[in-house]
Structures are given as C-alpha cells and as structure tokens.
A and B are shown apart, each in its own frame.
Chain A
Amino acid sequence: MTTRIDTRFAELKKAGRSAFVTFVMAGDPDPATSLEIIKALPKAGADVIELGMPFTDPMADGPSIQAAGLRALKAGMTLKKTLELVRGFRKDDDATPIVLMGYYNPIYIYGVDKFLVDAKTAGVDGLIIVDLPPEEDDELCLPAMKAGLNFIRLATPTTDDKRLPAVLANTSGFVYYVAITGITGAAAADATAVSEAVTRIKRHTKLPVCVGFGIRTPENARAIASHANGAVVGTALVDALKNSLDAEGRATGKTVSAVAELTASLAQGVRGAQQAAE
C-alpha cells in the first residue's frame, strides 16, 4: 500500500529537500474560510497538511490551538464536517497528503470502522492521535493500517531507546518527533538536541522523521529542517490566522492571505535547508 504521504516523501527525497508540514485547525474560524485556507497552503509551499480535528479538551495543546478548536466548534464544526472539508480540498488537489490530527473521543463516538471508511473515501492519508500510545494500538492504529491509512506516531524526548521500537512498531508514513516535553506553542526547539534525537530515531527506522513543536520562524524552520526530513509549524500559523480576525472573531478579507503569506516565508526557510543525510 502506498499513500500520498509515501509518494510525497519519495518525491522530496529525489528533489533532495525536506518537507514543510503545516498544521491548521479544521473549521477555524469557520468552515468556508477554512477550506480556502487549506486550498491556499500547497500553493504557498506546504508539502503536507495536518488538519486539526477540534476537541473541547485538547490536553496536549497550548492556548493558541485550544482557542482555534473552540472557534471552530463555535462555528459548528464536527468530525463529519472535517471530513467534508477534506472532500472539498480533494476536488482540486489529489497529491498533497492530508493528515488528521487530534484526540480519540470524537472518532470513538463517530465509530472507528465507519470513520476509517469515511476518512479514506474523503481523501485522508494519515492520522495522528495524541492520546493513543502504542499500549492502545488495538483501538485505532491497527484498524487504520488495515483500512489503508497511515498511523503516524509521536516520539518525544521521554521516548528512550528501550521504548522506541514499541513506538515505531506500527508507525507508517512518517515519524513525528515532538521536539520538547510540553504542549504546542510553548518553548522553542533546540536544533542541536533535535539533531541528536533524529539521529537516534533513524537508527531504529527507515521512515522519514519530521519535527514539530516550538518552530515559529523561517530561521527555526531552516535549522530544524536541515536535521530532519521535515519541519512542522502549527501555532505560528494559527496565531497569524487569529490576528487577522475582527473583534468578534470572524474572518476578514486578510485571513486567508495572512496564513498563506506566513506559509510562503516558512516554506522558503525549509527550502533553504540542506536535506538531512540518510
């Protein structure tokens, strides 16, 4: 089984550069604007799109992404509408991989089997579920693999060499290295520590390793991307979106372009990096 994620990373490897992975919250600040934003991301240089599934209790997220989820929920976003958003995006783009990222409960309530069928049909390529460690692989990870979706695991600074094989065992697509112990949008990632961690992970897997949490600027992105197969930016984009809203939290004429412009400058940062040695 080859997903759009596998294809995209193979292309990037051939081109000798790292991936720029963008995170935005589905339905933020409203479903229609959100669709325009994700359509704009690949044109601005995003190689992979992570789409947040809004949840009331995002326990691994900082204030920016918490607020983004609440804005989306307030605008009527549901998991069903998130899948509709992906369908809308796929009408014009059949190449850019889409990874849904969030928490397990909305999927559990939707029904795991039905969700996997609907997600695959809608054009989703992978899942990152923060509160499903390998100890709970029976819940969603193994069924997702069977359904042809990548289950992308988070590895963290607390994932030591002894634990890494368990974390990597059922991972596919890529490995997401969380550069800090902490929540999204908190501390800045340190390039040297990240480089060591990526080298350590690569001893255990042939999968691409992308790094996220704490990357905000084109300079950060360049530094991190030169040590990994990809850099993930989320909070900075969500903040740019938020700063473009009016006083009532509604989209303005600047909202889509604010996200697209920051994406473009971050993408340049990533493209300026040397691909990490294999």
Chain B
Amino acid sequence: MSPSITHVTLAASEASEHRALIITLFVLFVLATLGITIWAGRQTKDAADFYAGGRQFSAFQNGLAVSGDYMSAASFLGIAGAIALFGYDGFLYSIGFLVAWLVALLLVAEPLRNSGRYTMGDVLAYRMRQRPVRTAAGTSTIVVSIFYLLAQMAGAGILVSLLLGITSDAGKILIVALVGVLMIVYVSIGGMKGTTWVQMVKAVLLIGGTILITFLVLLKFNFNISDLLGSAAENSGKGDAFLEPGLQYGADGTTKLDFISLGIALVLGTAGLPHILIRFYTVPNAKAARKSVNWAIGIIGGFYLMTIALGFGAAALISQDEIIASNPSGNTAAPLLALHLGGVDSAWGAILLATISAVAFATILAVVAGLTLASSSSFAHDIYANVIRKGKATEKEEMRAARWATVLIGVVSIALGTLARDLNVAGLVALAFAVAASANLPTILYSLFWKRFTTQGALWSIYGGLVVAVGLVLFSPVVSGDPKAMFPDVDFAWFPLKNPGIISIPFGFAMGWLGTVLSKEEPDAKKYAELEVRSLTGTGAH
C-alpha cells in the first residue's frame, strides 16, 4: 500500500463531500458576525467608541476577547499539528505563549490602561517629543501587524484549499480576498466594539470545539493520560522519544540555540503586540484590565492544556503518513482528528470535521480583524492625527482617517496575502513576536519605569530593535537557503537561526539604554512625574 498517495486523495474527497456543510457553518458565522458588526457600528459615535469600544466592556468580556485575539490559527492548528508530528516539542512551544502573559499582567496592562488613551504610541510618546516617537511607534505597530496578518491570510488560503479541496490559484486568491474584504467590513463599520464582540463569539466557539474534541479523545482512553501518551508514542513510530524534548529542536547545536531564541521571543513578545495592548483600553479601569488578563491566562492556559489532548490524540489515532500527506507541517491534524473521532465514513465524522473547520476559519477571520484594527488605529491616531495634523485633527476627521486606513491596510494585506499564498509563512507569527519583543517591549518598559529615558533612547530602541529583527530574518533560513524557506531556490542566508530574538531583543534594550545615556537632551522630569503618578494610580485616566 502506498499510504501517502491514497490518503491525499482520501482526505481530498472526504473534504469535498463535506464541503456543503463546512460552507454552511462558515456562512452562518459570517452572517452572525456581520449582524453584530452592523449593530456595533450604529453604537459607535465617538473616537473612544471606535478605538476602545467605549471602554465599557467587563473584565470577563475583555478576557474572552483577549483570548480570541491571541488564539490564532497558529496556536489552534499549528500547536496541535506540531504535537501530532513532533510530540513533546510541540507542547514546549505552547508554554512560552502562556508564560508570556505574566509580563503583560505584572508590568504592562495596568500602567498602560492608566496612562494611555487608544494606542501603544500614547504611552511611548507621553513624555517624549511627540512626532518622532509616534512615527516610530506607528511604524513598528504596522510592521508587527503586517507580519502577523500575512501569516493568517496565507494560513486561510492553505486551510481552505485543504478542507474544501480548492487547489486552483484563482480559488486561493478568491479566499484571501474574501477574508480581506470581511475584515475591512468588520473593522471599518464595527470599530473596536464590533471587533470585540466578534472575538468573544470566536473564543466561545473555539473553546467549545476544543472541549468537545478533548472530551472525545479522553473518552477513547478512559481519561487515562498515560495511556494516551503511550498510544501516541507507539503509533508515531518514534517510541519514547516522542514524549521527550528534542524531536523538533534537538537536532544539533544550532537548532537548540534557535529554540532558546524562540523561547525568549515568545515570552517577551506578547506584552509588545499592538493588537493585544489596545485591548486593555476597552475596559473602564486598570483593575478591570488586570482582571481581564487573569481571565485570559485562565482561558488560554486551559486551551493550551487541551491542545495536549488534541495533538497527542491525533498522533495516537491517525498515522503519521496521513497527517503529513494532508499537510507537511501538520496544520490539518486537528480537523483530521475530528473526522477520525466521529468515524471516517459516518455523518457524525462529517459534522465534527465541518464544525472544527468552521471554527478554524472563524479564528483566522477574528484575528485578522484584531490586527487590522490595531494598525489602522495606530495609523489614524499616532501618525495622521498627531504627526501629520500635529494634534489639530477633530475627532470626526480622525475616525474618518481610521476607516480609510482600514481599507488601505486591508487592500495591502490582500495584495501581499495573494503574493504570499504559496510561500511558507508558518514562521511569521513567531517572527512577529520577536519584532514586538525587540522594538516595542524595551521602549514600553523604559518609558514606564526609567526616569532618565529620553526621546533619542526611544527612537534608537524602536528602530534599532525593528531593523535588526527584520534584517536578521531577511538573511535567515526562513527566507532563503533552505528547502522550507520562502524562496528555496536562492541562498543569501548567512544568519543561521530562524528566530532573531536572542540577538535582536538584547539589542533593542541596549540601544534604548545607549541612546539615552548619549543623548544631549535632559529628560522631562515633570512629564515623568505625571506619567508615573498616572500609571500607578489611574489619576486622570480616560
């Protein structure tokens, strides 16, 4: 028997049979979220509504929405797939994503909520010269978001081609365009209010779907985790090594170093992701921001714990050949698992597959909406209102700019997503974390906690971290010189690691320090007094 070939065709024909069901569920999700968006659009009257959802969401609602923003297709499909193929190393990956939330909880969420209004740039520029720092903050926000967006858009194309059996170029382009148009509609009409509700719906669906599949997996193994792990190890053909670290990252010294680099980027990146940061403005005060992070830690932690069951369950119940044949990175392991749990030729299997696939689409759609909102907010509020119009734009003009920025960013992402549809962009999410940790986090922490920090320090830190992180990626095996690279046929990779964090994050911190100690201007002590008192007490918070 030639497993890979038979399974490809099998998976494809199964998928096309269930196509109608998948599409129906997906259309239902789109209709429901469009309804929410229109309703939210009617309630969006001023800039605080558009950027911050009127700041009236409860801690639990925002916790759900934060989880929705964070649990991208990369974590749902990617981690389950990585566990299914590499066992323990896939699980290792998810831990960095969770621990990172403590940085947000302890150092960033509350001070940010207390001292900013709408964007990350509000806090960075608080005691600095507004125009250069806001330009820098806007630039890094847009770069991080575009990296992240590209990964999601390309993911949508891959997923759809696999699950619906659409393989033609025109079909993939159409899907990318559809995702782009929907996200433009969500964000430009619904603003933060609409986007937050879409995130909440998506989070509930994703958690619900994951609980269902986890329950079914555990039921098969009588809730005995040890048995589940044992079957996974055996069925994977790798034995005990499947349950130990090393299958994915342990090959040699370089891959091990790469894993450390990735780990640092994950842990320090979350608290610098613009689409996560703006979520803290949607609640009434810092206390609610803290509680929403706690909810998010609980929800996201529970979710990642369940991905253990998903990933090892897929490894135990499906052959490695079938998983790889469906997608070489294992990205379709979770939907395949749903199909197998229900029974490959049964209606129940079809329903489960369709449900999980629709949830995956919903996940992608919601995350791209969050990213688009973050970048268009930063464009309108930081760059248009405060740099171009020097703070003289009216609220109405600013909101109009935000809506146009949404359309612009949407069109750019559609174009890039179309071009990148066949590139391997799986690593882009981890890179977005590295850029966020190198360019954004140092400046956020210095601004909040270091009295002496100056404009020059902020600029050196943002641009230094940004240029080094993106530059190292450009010359890494992610882009060229590797069979799995974006451009496998050329080789200009002289930087050996796939993740730049281990170099670029310390560099970002060092540049912030160096720029500060070398700058000729005196830090503005009065402004720092104001920022510090506001950030710790919430005095005068919007």
Are both chains from one complex?
no
B residues lining the A interface (CB < 8 Å): none
A residues lining the B interface (CB < 8 Å): none
